[in-house]
Copies of this chain bind each other. A is one copy, B any other.
Amino acid sequence: MANAEIQALIDLMARLPGLGPRSARRAVLHLIKKRAAVMRPLAQALMQVADGARECLVCGNIGTTDICDICRSDKRATGEICVVEHVADLWAMERSGVFRGRYHVLGGTLSALDAVGPDELRIPRLETRITEEGASEVILALGATVDGQTTAHYIADRLSGHEGLSVTTLAQGVPVGGELDYLDDGTIGAALRARRSF
């Protein structure tokens, strides 16, 4: 048991996803050793982000400005809007570096059980954006889960009224570096059905 002040810090750290009491203790001892190089900068960065973080008013991305970097950049005005469930998915798409358009973060999936309807998911906002920005393509990059695909179908239905708008979705298949032996049957089936000429 550490001193009360240090224990309070350990308890807070232990509440982070991915850290438990043991790893929180290790992290705190590590931080105390690297006080100048890591601990103070971390405290300052946390405070700064706590003060500054906000959702982009356009797409729902998290940044430190009212309109996020992507929505502000003219280069990203390609007429393509990629719809994702969570901010983490947007960041993952950005890391791949392939998509050059803009995003729309739903904030989850439709769920009757949790009473999440279209209005909770920025879906009306997506429709407004399509009109306002004159979008030509909406890419549904939702999870390959039941909830994700239900939500994708709902959105595709709802957008069918927009003339000249193409609604697409990510390809399903073998992941890069994936070995067939380790893949689930569903993925192999999907990859086979979507096979292409070599």
Residues of A within 8 A of B (CB): 1-3, 5-6, 8-9, 12-13, 15-19, 23, 25-32, 35, 38-50, 52-53, 62-65, 68-69, 86-88, 91, 94-95
Query: What residues on B are CB-neighbors of A5 within 8 Å?
Result: 45, 48-49, 52, 64
Across the interface, do B31 and A39 meet the contact criterion of CB distance under 8 Å?
Answer: no
CA distance A41 to B50 in the complex (A): 10
Across the interface, do B39 and A49 meet the contact criterion of CB distance under 8 Å?
Answer: yes
Across the interface, do A50 and B43 meet the contact criterion of CB distance under 8 Å?
Answer: yes
Chain B residue, CB-CB nearest to A6: B49
CA distance A88 to B26 in the complex (A): 8
Across the interface, do A91 and B1 meet the contact criterion of CB distance under 8 Å?
Answer: yes
The listed residue (B3, B12, B23, B88) touching A38 by CB distance below 8 A is B12
Q: How far is the CB of A12 from chain B (nearest CB, A)?
A: 5
**CB within 8 Å for A6 and B62 given contacts A18-B26, A23-B18:** yes
Query: What residues on B are CB-neighbors of A43 within 8 Å?
Result: 43-44, 46-47, 50
**CB within 8 Å for A31 and B9 given contacts A1-B94, A62-B3, A69-B3:** no
